[in-house]
Amino acid sequence: MKIGIVGIGALGSLWATKLQQDGHDVLAITRDHSQRSISISLDQQAKFEIPANDLTQLSTCQAIIITVKSTQVKQAIEPLFTYLPTKIPLIFLHNGMGALDQLSEQWNQHPLFLATTTQAAFKPNSQQVKHTGIGQTFIGAYRETEKLTAQLDSIIQELDSALPKVMWHNHIQSALWKKLAINCVINPMTAIYQCKNGELLQSQYQTEVKSLINECHQVMQAVGQNQSLNDLSDRIKQVMIATSDNFSSMHQDIHHKRPTEIEFITGFLLKQAQRYAIDMPNHQRLFKKIKQLEK
Ligand code: KPL
């Protein structure tokens, strides 16, 4: 297969190297379109040389995976519009929700898919990527009109072979809401308290964690995401344990003075809460605090 990867951050680099290792042609699209190739090593292996930014090659790709952050989706994808025939599936993989709703109407003809993953990767420098956690990736439809076609099914099989497990999800919105809840609790708290994910299990944070989960659960119920409060709390705690030694992406963004994804994480949750007139004092407070830290 020929696969385009837009965004060569940690997850984009992981996908690019794993796909090339599995024998596929990879085309990397980076922020700087004048860069002609990228050179990157995966874990302890030799370097992968990946061709980059020949936009005329996009039309020959079987699928494009967009791994840029939710805050960069629009600016990364809009310039590619004229190079992308409408038959090519575009798979978006990022934290948060609502980023695709900002795309211009011209994308209506394109098959758009959303993905969520528990794979973890870390990029210590621009030439190296480390696969730090083995997980699962789910892909599903952005709109109800998009179905699992035979073409997409065979792409998913190839992706699964390169970086297992990759699976189709009939209700990707529910997987995205669960991930959103995790990110709404862990990301702002770790960024504000400057701690690792696992430190949120300490007793001093429990009252706040509980209130955040409660508020989030109310919104999920209102939008029709029926998950019990206990299951949601357990899932969030499991992620704190499984990623206990990690700094969340928002912690890293604040630390490196980069914009965070707060608008598409807590911001998205607050917008939904507003629609149903649900009071969200705890998430509001975190949202404001992260906005201040970003400044
Ligand atoms: O997705 C994450 C992030 O950091 O953005 C979690 C699951 C919180 C892992 O760190």
pLDDT in single tens digits along all 295 residues of the chain: 999 999 999 999 999 999 999 999 999 999 999 999 999 999 988 899 999 999 999 999 999 999 999 999 999 999 999 999 999 999 999 999 999 999 999 999 999 999 999 999 999 999 999 999 899 999 999 998 888 999 999 999 999 999 999 999 999 999 999 999 999 999 999 999 999 999 999 999 999 999 999 999 999 999 999 999 999 999 999 999 999 999 999 999 999 999 999 999 999 999 999 999 999 999 999 999 999 999 9
Q: Is the peptide bond preceding residue 69 cis, with omega within 30 degrees of 0?
A: no
Centre of ligand 1 from the C-alpha of residue 278, in Å: 25
Centre of ligand 1 from the C-alpha of residue 233, in Å: 16
Write out the H or E segment, with its range, that includes residue 161. helix 150-162
- Final residue of a structural domain among 153, 170, 187: 170
pLDDT at position 144, please?
87
pLDDT at position 71, please?
97
- Final residue of a structural domain among 146, 170, 194: 170
Candidates 94, 132, 197: which one to mutate for ligand 1, based on the most atoms within 8 Å of Cβ? Answer: 197
- Final residue of a structural domain among 109, 141, 170: 170
Catalytic residue positions, numbered: 179
**Domain co-membership, 56 together with 105:** yes
53 lines ligand 1 (CB under 6 A): no
**Domain co-membership, 48 together with 184:** no
**Domain co-membership, 21 together with 92:** yes
**Domain co-membership, 89 together with 199:** no
262 lines ligand 1 (CB under 6 A): no
**Domain co-membership, 179 together with 276:** yes
**Domain co-membership, 133 together with 106:** yes
pLDDT at position 146, please?
87
Centre of ligand 1 from the C-alpha of residue 14, in Å: 16
For position 121, which CATH number holds?
3.40.50.720
| Rounded alpha-carbon distances, angstroms, from residue 236 to 90, 223, 239, 278, 285 | 29, 19, 5, 21, 20
Burial of 54 (0-12, 13-18, 19+ CB in 10 A): middle
**Domain co-membership, 56 together with 127:** yes
Could you list the residue range(s) of the whole structural domain that residue 219 is in? 173-294
